[in-house]
Amino acid sequence: MGVGGNNAETMTTGKDTKPDIVVAALVVIGEEILSGRTRDENIAYIGAYLSRAGIALREVRVIADEEEEIVAAVNQLRHRYTYVFTTGGIGPTHDDVTTDAIAKAFEVGVGLDDDAVNALRRHFDDKELTQARLRMARIPDGAELIDNAISRAPGYRIGNVIVMAGVPHIMQVMLDAVLPKLDKGQPMLTRSVRIDAPEGDVAAPLAALQTACPKVQIGSYPFFEQKRLGTYVVLRSTDEQSLDDAYEGLWRIIVENGFEAAKAETG
Amino acid sequence: MGVGGNNAETMTTGKDTKPDIVVAALVVIGEEILSGRTRDENIAYIGAYLSRAGIALREVRVIADEEEEIVAAVNQLRHRYTYVFTTGGIGPTHDDVTTDAIAKAFEVGVGLDDDAVNALRRHFDDKELTQARLRMARIPDGAELIDNAISRAPGYRIGNVIVMAGVPHIMQVMLDAVLPKLDKGQPMLTRSVRIDAPEGDVAAPLAALQTACPKVQIGSYPFFEQKRLGTYVVLRSTDEQSLDDAYEGLWRIIVENGFEAAKAETG
């Protein structure tokens, strides 16, 4: 699509400048998502959050809470992307197996971390700090803790893998805590237009525009409202001038074809 | 987790019986999901739909509309699961590259399919049936069409891969159309209980219950309502007797520990 591509190394335009692209993958660990019991809220949140920050989410995997599945996914992805984020499976119950899997993926040990135990002590008294809850202070050797301002049980970062809770509001504070420490590329700039014509009518001129604007990723998304088909067109680029040119080209198409259209919320 | 596991072959308990487990993967093709612009609705729908039908969704991948990404994902997954479902990327625009990718994955050609063209003719007159719209009748050689009762542009099945639209209500009619032709295993039976105690209090007896009930998958999902933490416990099994035993065991735990609890909606 002109931009993107999966590069484990970040690409730089020169010394002392931001890398053009920092790419990431997300592993959503949770049987409840696969069974359809819970509708995932984290993918869209993390995708938009990272995109604004200058990190492009290029792949998501949803897998069950099974150690060997987690090891395989993390080991495949961590060599391919700048960062791998995981959500889920770091709670106190028997089906929380993420930490053991991460330690196995990195071939390191796992044990009670003093700082993590102390964080839990600020939230739980001695009676409450059961063996089960202490499981949440088991951290792979060499990992760096990520603060959890809500329920104290920390996430952590090991190598380029960032391990977070699955509960959305806890995941979100962990993301806020870790973001300042991550490499960021140029933020993705976007423009969106809503066209009240079906994709089939928009397709040919849009394909020509994509050919003319290789630095801009042009996405076309059909919608169906009040029994009529329409198309959202989304332009995405890290280069503002290229984006401006494509946006102008898009409005030329709209005027020439007599489409009804309006600027839409970007995203 | 006792049940599940990724087996390309379905396991059978004997001749003339349903296979115990039919496993599937889903590939969600769409830059708009990765960028967070669109919140996916298909994963939860497909997960729950297949689970009710006796097909266990074991893995989901979300990838961009890029041919090489799609080829890699489909070729990895189709040898590992009974079925691979895909959503997205079969519309008329330049960023709809799924069909070419599927043909490449199976190393077959792709061309206009007469039946698919005829289906489009029932929806579009000659003037409307542009080159762009005809793209939707390009089908990989050897694929079998899947009816689309809404907008006529068909999905298709090739080998064990089922290619569907990304627009939820169109994907849903395609799923209805293809389901009767798929192998199904024992449907997954579930029971859920809501316990008004945090996971940390429930964890120890729940781990013991899981050890005692290897044929039942016991999931524990924290929730946060009215400033109090609670736990949903979900029991899942294809074997009713084992499920009944685990459910009884769970209520014994609830009574012995004096937890407040209530039967919850299954899922």
How far is A89 from A164, CA to CA, in rounded Å? 9
Bridge partners of residue B123, in order along the sequence: none
At which of B162, B181, B200 does a domain end? B181
Look at B91 and A199 and tell me if their CB atoms are within 8 Å: yes
pLDDT reported for residue A8: 42
How far is B25 from A248, CA to CA, in rounded Å? 41
Question: B69 and B87: one domain?
Answer: yes
Contact B132, B139 (CB under 8 A): no
Question: B166 and B72: one domain?
Answer: yes
Task: Centre a 10 Å sphere on the Cβ of residue B225 and count the other Cβ atoms it contains.
Answer: 9
Establish if B84 belongs to a structural domain: yes
Identify the CATH number of the domain in which residue B217 sits.
3.30.70.600
Look at A40 and B37 and tell me if their CB atoms are within 8 Å: no
Establish if B27 belongs to a structural domain: yes
pLDDT band at B226 (very low <50, low <70, confident <90, very high): confident
Domain of B243 in residue numbering reads as 189-264
Which of the 8 DSSP states describes residue A7? Answer: -
3-state secondary structure of B158: strand
Q: Compute CA distances A179 → A165, A175, B182, B266, whole Å.
A: 15, 6, 45, 37
- pLDDT per residue of chain A (267 residues) written in tens, 0 to 9: 333 334 444 444 444 456 678 999 999 999 999 999 999 999 999 999 999 999 999 999 999 999 999 999 999 999 999 999 999 999 999 999 999 999 999 999 999 999 999 999 998 999 999 999 999 999 999 999 999 998 889 999 999 999 999 999 999 999 999 999 999 998 899 999 999 999 999 999 999 999 999 999 999 998 888 888 899 999 999 999 999 999 999 999 999 999 999 999 765
Give Cβ neighbours of residue B57 (< 8 Å, ≥ 6 apart): A34, A35, A36, B24, B25, B26, B46, B47, B50, B51
Establish if A34 belongs to a structural domain: yes
Could you tell me the pTM of the whole model? 0.90
pLDDT reported for residue B17: 57
Question: A123 and A194: one domain?
Answer: no
| Farthest-apart Cα atoms in chain A, separation | 73
Within 13 Å of residue B215, how many CA atoms lie on the same side as its CB? 14
Question: A70 and A177: one domain?
Answer: yes
Establish if A92 belongs to a structural domain: yes
At which of B181, B200, B216 does a domain end? B181
pLDDT reported for residue A16: 45
How far is A156 from A175, CA to CA, in rounded Å? 11
pLDDT at B173 over 60: yes
Tokens representing B109? 């050609």
How far is B40 from A240, CA to CA, in rounded Å? 28
Question: A42 and A105: one domain?
Answer: yes
- Number of domains within chain B: 2
pLDDT reported for residue A35: 93
Q: What is the mean pLDDT of residues B164-180?
A: 96
Chain A contact for B48, CB < 8 A? Answer: yes
- Spacing of C-alpha A200 from chain mean position: 31
Q: What is the mean pLDDT of residues B124-141?
A: 94
pLDDT reported for residue A200: 92
Q: Quick one: A122 exposed, middle or buried, by C-beta within 10 A (0-12, 13-18, 19+)? A: exposed
Mean model confidence pLDDT for chain B: 91
The nearest alpha carbon in chain B to A65 belongs to: B1
Look at B169 and A224 and tell me if their CB atoms are within 8 Å: yes
Tokens representing A19? 């890398």
Question: B79 and B200: one domain?
Answer: no
Q: What is the mean pLDDT of residues B186-209?
A: 94
Establish if B64 belongs to a structural domain: yes
Which of B40, B64, B204 is the closest to A58 by Cβ?
A: B64
Question: B98 and B128: one domain?
Answer: yes
Establish if B2 belongs to a structural domain: no
pLDDT at B1 over 60: no
Question: B194 and B175: one domain?
Answer: no
Residue with tokens 């009816």: B147
Q: Compute CA distances B190 → B90, B179, B230, B235, whole Å.
A: 35, 21, 19, 5
Tokens representing B42? 């298909």
Establish if B29 belongs to a structural domain: yes
Identify the CATH number of the domain in which residue A163 sits.
3.40.980.10
Residue with tokens 């897998």: A63
Look at B93 and A31 and tell me if their CB atoms are within 8 Å: no
Q: What is the mean pLDDT of residues B233-245?
A: 95
Question: B36 and B151: one domain?
Answer: yes
Establish if B226 belongs to a structural domain: yes
Within 13 Å of residue A147, how many CA atoms lie on the same side as its CB? 10
Look at B221 and A38 and tell me if their CB atoms are within 8 Å: yes
Question: A53 and A167: one domain?
Answer: yes
Question: B112 and B216: one domain?
Answer: no
At which of A124, A155, A181 does a domain end? A181
Question: B122 and B201: one domain?
Answer: no
d(CA B238, nearest CA chain A) in Å:
13
Q: B200 to chain A: which residues are within 8 Å by CB?
A: 92, 124, 128, 130, 132-133
How far is B173 from B165, CA to CA, in rounded Å? 10
pLDDT in tens, B8-46: 444 444 444 566 789 999 999 999 999 999 999 999 999
Q: A57 to chain B: which residues are within 8 Å by CB?
A: 34-36
